[in-house]
Structure 1
Amino acid sequence: MVRRVDGTTAAVWVEVARAATVTVRLTDDGGAWSAPTFAVHGHHYALVEVDGLPRDTRVPYEVLVDDDVCWPAPAATFPPSTLAARADDAPVRLAFGSCRTSVPHDDVHHLTHGVDALRTYALALADGEAGQAPDLLLLLGDQVYADATSAEMREFIEARRDISAEPGDELADFEEYAHLYRLAWGEPALRWLLSWLPSLMIFDDHDVRDDWNTSLSWRRQMEATSWWHGRIVAALGSYWVYQHLGNMSATERAEDPLWAELRRRQEAAPGTEVDLTDAVDAFAERADREPESYRWSYTHPLGGSRLVVVDSRAARELEPARRSMLDDDETAWLDEQLTGDVEHLLVATSLPFLLPMGLHRVEALDEALAEGRLGRHLARAAEWLRQELDLEHWGAFSRSFTAVAQMVTEVADGRRGAAPSSVLFLSGDVHFSYITEVDRESGSRMLQLVCSPIRNPLPRALRAFAALGSHGARPLGALLSRLARLPEPPWRWHGIAGPWFDNNLAVLEVDGEQLRTVWLGGRVVGASEDRPDLVAVADLELDVPPAGTAHRRPLARVHRDGRRGLLARLRRRTGRRR
């Protein structure tokens, strides 16, 4: 997997079957970089740092395990895997989305889970039918589902242990996480895409368990079980290995305590594969017990813009008197990252910062009731609703919502450096997609873009509820908030596009002050079940006037038929069109 590409340096992450030296070799000029494997719970990994990549040019590479070329596979039918460093002045193209279940791609599972938007996009890119490729894939949570396992995953679990005992057919340990990641990323089209397109990631609840860290009550329920400790240690340890290790820059990795321990052990025993199992488990246990001991959030430059990826799960403060989405240390870190002097500021958080306003008010009300605003009986009912209906987004952590909104307002008003053209929140989680805009007369535009799910559609019975929350819940939420005497939110915002419920992957293009977006999905009507057509779920051009001017132009032009907008424009560049 090609992970973070910084400047002319790329991180290539590899899992192999045995202890070895892994080499990444450019096939054009023979440049090569190597790293020894390290072991965790009997699995073998390496991360190879490649530097000196040419700008704006794709160069093919191959992976050697010891002296044997193991990638690309001898019978590979996909284009060569390549590495590329983007030109500094080129437009930024970012694909993003969340929530992807790993089930077969056949007619039965297309009916139950829909068409896999990420796999469809991979096949279209490989065939040259998706237009100009993005620079980066940002996966915003629920890369794997530890608590809702597929038939194939359950078969693996049942071969190891009795599923009549807790935690049943949910994941129990690192070995099961390793197999789940193999199922999620091992399908040929995905293996090729992840070897070709740089990726960054952040977890959400299902990477661990539904409602992870919703409240102190939820946390105590989990800690009372026989299996939670093993789950959280395996979840965070495997997340560091499979996801977070590739999120860091080379400099950040060198300062990472677990990576530093690996390097120390390698230097103490050269030529021997280091077993890092004990250190990974101890690290994960501490990261759960003392969230302030480790930071999962990170930043990434995007040309003249900046991406800030925020952990909205592990860094929570759950004590009712101090309840916050982000603890004090995380809040202070985010405060330092949210600055101007960039073209666009992108803030990625798995949970939407801006839900539809009616739903935001409902969640804020539920938080107040659960904290005892109107008595103990209503507090118990509100806690039950919070867990049953997933009422645990930013609106349900009012202290953090207000603090972050204030930070972003200062950025957008030019009080933290020159105001960017826009502040964009990128999110997933909710299993429907939409765009909202904060009501402002001047300064930076503030937009929330949500892309969810990649493959895990919202049941039809719940779509009406989500649509009601996007439109009809606004007056009800306002009325209930007044009755409970809740303070008004620091912003007001309104819907621009959506909601739509298709499986999809969003592609955002940032070109100077201009923003263009397209939500892409797959369709099998008239196509092979195994080779879906790539279709535009929604295709939008976002008008972003210069910072400091009044916001009076139409924000978005929506092209649902795919004949205009970003998707068509990208296809015209390559001479291909569906």
Structure 2
Amino acid sequence: MSTSQRDPLVLGPLLRFVGEHNASIWVETADAATVSVRADGLTWSAPTFRVEEHHYALVLLDELEPGRTYDYEVLIGDEPVWPLPDSPFPASSIATLDHARPTTLAFGSCRTSVPHDAEHHRSHGVDALRTMALSLAKGESSRPHALALLGDQVYADETNPQMHDFIAARRDIDEPPYTEIKDYAEYAELYRLAWSEPAIRWVLSCVPSAMIFDDHDIRDDWNTSWSWHQEMNATPWWHERLIAGLCSYWVYQHIGNLAPEELAADEIWSLLDGAGPGEVDLTHELRSLVARVDRDPEAYRWSYTRALGRSRLIMLDSRAARVLEPHRRSMLDDVELAWLDEKMTGDLSHLFIGTSLPFLLPPGLHDAEAISESLAGPNRSGPVRRASELVRQTVDLEHWGAFQSGFVEVFDLVMSVARGERGEAPASITFLSGDVHNSYVAEVSDPAAQGSHSRIVQAVCSPIRNPMPRGVRVLMSQMTKSLVRPMRWLAQRTTGVEDPQHPWRVTDGPWFDNNLAYAEVDDDEGGGMTLRWVTGDAVAGGEPVLRTVATIHMEGLAGADRSRPPQEHVGGIPQ
């Protein structure tokens, strides 16, 4: 197809950062161009930048008024390209932040990109994000103030038939890495397939999104252990895969996460400042940065913060910042932990911590991961280490529970905020997570007895669209229930596994639907919050409809009162 015949707008627009006075809108274009956004008589423009052979723009909007909604359109050159002609969806708009307005934060993870027909509804379930978009477009749902996508936006290691065809047209899929993603061009197509379905494209154009990677954005078990890292580095294709994965993540996800002041400080983005009206090629500099980050994770930070009314979201990298040396394992390196220490403060209504991997796992699973880390450690015999490493990689025992030193350090920070040692304690400190392909709520038991003035909660929403096999669902339920006591018994008899200092319990779930979740903050004096999970139900001959899976209202700590008693297990310690 000739350049003149191509759609000038390849992908987007995506509404990314939104504050009181600022916003950013991301697009991918077919060619080098100037991209403009128009709203309410104002126009903002930016030239495209290039990575590999692809063209992008992140248009930065300023001088917006707090608490206003602006319909907008996108132009490439002088040609209007968004909204699309004859679109069935409402106008895309930007709702600026209003600190006086209670926050609704939607969140979830793990979304495969397959067709939305009866066959794939049977195999993959209904896409919860797409169903939310359809409900929002019809005016049946309220727009959340932000959407936190907590990992696995794309599956680089489990590609669909459309992606297979694209790969096969470029290279031999009988050679490694087979039908997995190999390079930047394949990542670009993977993102196009993930974000171009009309309802998904529309909802991402009008709901601000905050994103973070998880393993499948790069590869299953990414940075599980030192052994995994060594094995992958020995393959001939891994280095290019990692470079392409993180370069594309920077382009498609990371830069849109950042507030203007964070973006201005980014070493790659700063190359565009003062560069003039023409297109700048960032390929070499971006590849060089990512290669440096592969050698030294402390060289760059993927974590960031986002203001949400009187609350704050900390989006935490729990993949690339890991310390994997056999004698020192932590989910966060020293620089990342110091950054988190700085951001963990009070004087907020609610503090949300987005981490793709659940911080508080179901009790039996937490103990299983702690046991696995001990048995795979350097003080064990060779056969025990090798067998434990095999089990760790086979069943994905690589969450916070498998990085005990980092788990304890972060829990200490949480308790410091909850006790009011870093400003007035928020009503809740809530971890938002995904990854595990089931949804649940866990909560620290009797926090007041530990000096806490905050409820400490884990809310998990996974998957958006990638259901867990039924056999594994049984095991996950057992790790929450019947296997709690046996796993605790084993943990207490395993050298190197300590009892949890701050016991927790699973209070609701697990649910195994494809879900999207909402945290709806009540900023009144009681400091309450409602957690809600929704799913999509297929309708014969029509589009899916939204159904509520669970609604859980959480009062502030002083007035805590559950509508039903919690389950009888606490952080691996039976009641």
State the TM-score, normalized to the length of structure 1: 0.92
Which residue of 370, 377, 390 maps to 1:371? 377
Distance in 2 (alpha carbons) for counterparts of 1:294 and 1:440: 38
Q: Determine which of 260, 266, 273 is the counterpart of 1:263.
A: 273
Match of 2:528 among 490, 510, 514: 514
Aligned identity (percent) is 53
SS in structure 2 at match of 1:108: helix
Question: Match of 1:38?
Answer: 49
Counterpart amino acid of residue 227 in structure 2: S
Mapped partners of 2:95, 2:133: distance in 1? 17
Report how far residue 373 of structure 1 moved: 4.7
Kept in 1, the 8 Å contact 2:447–2:456? The answer is no
Letter in 2 for 1:46: A
Paired with 2:540 and 2:132, the residues of 1 have a C-alpha distance of 15
| Paired position in structure 1 for 2:182 | 172
Q: Is the 8 A contact 1:39 1:273 kept in 2?
A: yes
1:488-518 residue CA offsets vs partner (Å, 9 max, x unmatched): 1222111111000000000110111110121
**1:557 to 1:87, Cα distance in 2 relative to 1, 3 A:** farther
Matched, 1:249 2:259: yes
Q: Is the 8 A contact 2:97 2:308 kept in 1?
A: no
Q: What root-mean-square deviation, in Å, do the aligned CA atoms of Structure 1 and Structure 2 show?
A: 1.4
Q: Aligned equivalents of 1:333 and 1:55: distance in 2?
A: 29
Tell me, in whole angstroms, the C-alpha distance in 1 between the residues paired with 2:194 and 2:296.
30
SS in 2 for 1:490: coil
Cα distance in structure 2, aligned partners of 1:473 and 1:414: 36
Q: Identify which of 105, 128, 132 aligns with 1:94.
A: 105
What is the CA-CA distance between 1:259 and the residue it aligns to? 0.5
Distance of 2:35 and 2:460 partners within structure 1? 38
Verify: 1:279 aligned to 2:279, yes or no: no
- Does 1:204 pair with 2:214? yes
Distance between the aligned counterparts of 2:456 and 2:541, measured in 1? 41
1:58 aligns with 2:69: yes
Shift of 1:86: 2.6
1:490 aligns with 2:501: yes
Alpha-carbon distance between aligned partners in 2 of 1:352 and 1:114, rounded to the nearest angstrom: 23
- Match among 225, 230, 233 for residue 243 of structure 2: 233
Amino acid corresponding to residue 18 of structure 1 in structure 2: D
- For the 8 Å contact 1:540–1:556, the answer to whether it is kept is no
Q: Which residue of 1 aligns with 2:456?
A: 446
Contact 1:348 1:426 in 2 (8 A): yes
Partner of 1:243: helix, strand, or coil? helix
Letter in 1 for 2:21: T
Per-residue deviation at 1:303?
1.3
Structure 1 residues not aligned, in runs of 5+: 559-578
Corresponding residue for residue 390 of structure 1: 396
| Residue matched to 1:565 | none
Q: Distance in 1 between matches of 2:186 and 2:545?
A: 33
Measure the CA separation in 2 of the matches of 1:46 and 1:441: 47
Q: 1:92 to 1:2 in 2, by over 3 A?
A: same
Which is further off, 410-419 or 31-40?
410-419
> Which amino acid is the alignment partner of residue 529 of structure 2?
L
Cα distance per residue 1:544-565 (max 9 Å; x no partner): 234xx7x5x226799xxxxxxx
8 Å Cα contact 1:53-1:84 kept in structure 2: no
**Cα distance change of structure 1 residues 382 and 376 upon mapping to structure 2, 3 Å threshold:** same
Q: Residue 412 of structure 2 aligns with which residue?
A: 406
Residue type of the partner of 1:466?
A: M
**Distance in 2 between residues matched to 1:30 and 1:290, nearest whole Å:** 47
Counterpart CA distance in 2 for 1:86 and 1:332 is 29
What's the CA shift string for 1:407-446, capped at 9, x where partnerless? 1111111112111111101000000000011012412110
Q: 1:341 aligns with which of 325, 347, 364?
A: 347
1-structure distance, mates of 2:273, 2:120: 44
Question: TM-score, structure 2 length as denominator?
Answer: 0.93
Report Cα offsets for 1:126-150 as digits up to 9, x if no partner: 01112x2100010000000000000
Q: Which amino acid aligns with 2:190?
A: L
Distance 1:278 1:372, change over 3 A: closer
**Residue 545 of structure 2 aligns to which amino acid in structure 1?**
D
| Cα distance in 1 for residues equivalent to 2:289 and 2:272 | 12
**2:227 alignment partner, one of 196, 202, 217:** 217
Unaligned runs of 5+ in 2: 1-13, 567-575
What displacement does 1:110 show? 0.7
